[in-house]
Structure 1
Amino acid sequence: MAKTLLEIEGLKKYFPVKSGVFKRTVGFVHAVDDVSFSVSERETFALVGESGCGKSTTGRSILRILEPTEGSVIFDGEDILSCSTEQMRKKRKDMQLIFQNPYSSLNPRMTVKMLLSEPLKTHFNLSSKEVQDKVAWMLEEVGLAKEHLNRYPHQFSGGQRQRISIARALITEPRFVVADEPVSALDVSIQSQILNLLMKLQRDMSLTYVFISHDLNVVRHISSNVGVMYLGQIVEKGETENLYERPLHPYTKALLSAVPSKDPLNKKKRIILQGDVPSPVNPPKGCPFHLRCDKAFGPCSSSRPELKEVEPRHHVACHLY
């Protein structure tokens, strides 16, 4: 059995809401509200859900790009939330982020060579020749050529730019990567190429991913385990195939009902959710989903359901179970 590399326990991230002349805090946005999961080495754990459910904030909080409000992030046996700034800087080479939009994540004034050399100069004491060799190797790994080294980001297509972003994240040879919607800004024809590249690099470099996406077909293709988020909380998690074939939470069922069937003769019944997502500033009491759930009953409006294992390796936060 694979070793657990990352363990998230009770992770919370609240953003203050300020108002008035003196900018007093009048409330908090509950962006991530008590999230827990673990990821084994060389595994891909996916976070899915509607826009605004807290997926990206969770990923950034894990890496301490955003400082969590509460909780623990155990990476390779150490709680990184207790690390000093200097200790965290040293860990950055092992924990990297692939951004959603390669148009904004790459400095337009730097060539590819400069972009890929910078992380090496920051984290390692290498000679110019070693840096040059490493950059050339990484560029080849992501499917680009040496003649691209002296070009600027605007001289590449969207897919090529994302390859450069991936190369920049992986050139320090990290153990863990958060991939934040890495294909959502790309044409559909390019998405599969980038997904296959990520899977190849995972095998070649023994990488562990937290993969963030709203595209359920993409998630099924790349992940081994899935966590479904709603209003800052994980409402269901389990092995990918099991969760897709036997969704338990009403929200998960509604999400999966919207995925087009591969067989045109097999028409699925679409579950249309009523109402809007509640405000994360003032989340409802009890189950966060009960205001939109057609299965809601007594305890749903008063007590928050725990995320419980109702089948082997299949957890759900729902009073129906």
Structure 2
Amino acid sequence: MRFELTDEQAGFGRALGDLLARADTVGVARAWAEGDTGPGLGLWKRLADQGVNALVVPEEAGGMGGSLVDLVVAHEVLGHHLAVGPWIEASAFLATALTGEALEAVAAGAVATVALPPHVPFALDGDVAEVVYAGTADGLLRARVGEIRASVDTTRRLAEVSAEAGADHAAGPEVSRLAGARTSTTGEVAAFDVAVLACSAQLVGCGERLLADTVAYAKQRRQFGREIGSYQAVKHQLADVRIALDFARPLVLGAALGEVPASAAKVAAADAAYLASRVGLQVHGAIGYTREFDLGLWITRVRALVGAWGTPAYHRGQVLATLTGSAR
């Protein structure tokens, strides 16, 4: 089966990429990491105006009624350009799990986030979000933000949350089946898997950016009178990254079409992006370790996303369960 984007989907991806390319996303990310969230929130609004938050929200709830492939296209671009904020939480999980006015608020561009133990123990950027949810045994509830924890990715702040006493449910109880539920009680793709899919797409986008920047550097850096990219040892490593990303993307698109388990897409995307970060760091050498060099922002983003929305061990276990017929 071939997984190809339509002209409309490809054009949407290019439009988002052009918007983010003009937005100085590296500067926005560095400001966000230092606590200056103004530029990031401004960019959030611009992306919301383009419909990113509303992509998979039904039209009757104020959304665009798009497909999961549309969501994948958007999140790969977000990863490629290092967009900050709880995009996976808002535009993927909550846009699928919420109902009523809560869903309409997300579609309209509200900055929303969620903690979903055990796989998502903290609410990303909970101190910045307009509304915070917590997954409980009874479903999603509005939550209060507690202690803020640091992440290996300085652009991500992780908030401890607790459900508010007497809070109304924001969605049905099916969203509380977190540990590997592949479908909801209605037979639709579970909100958790939609978030896993978005995370996978962001990993592919990060990997592509790391590869592009590393190839550009290998063409510029000279050693012993030659570009380092002309050495076979470097070429082979870069080729391995290219192959890994090219194998991961069809799995992500296949998962969006329901042909591949979301966990398989996450495993492949995480492995490919992590390989891209390792090779990028090795090719760049010591400069890749410095905080001033932009490459490190994508390396730490990849490191964070690899464990986000389910660890590699968890998703490998889900793939094994699917293959052996024991998946729930």
Same fold by TM-score greater than 0.5: no
Of Structure 1 and Structure 2, the greater strand share is in: 1
TM-score using structure 1 length: 0.23
Task: Name the structure, 1 or 2, with higher relative contact order (CA <8 Å, separation 6+).
Answer: 1
TM-score by length of 2: 0.23
**Could you say which structure has the larger radius of gyration?**
1
Higher helix share: 2
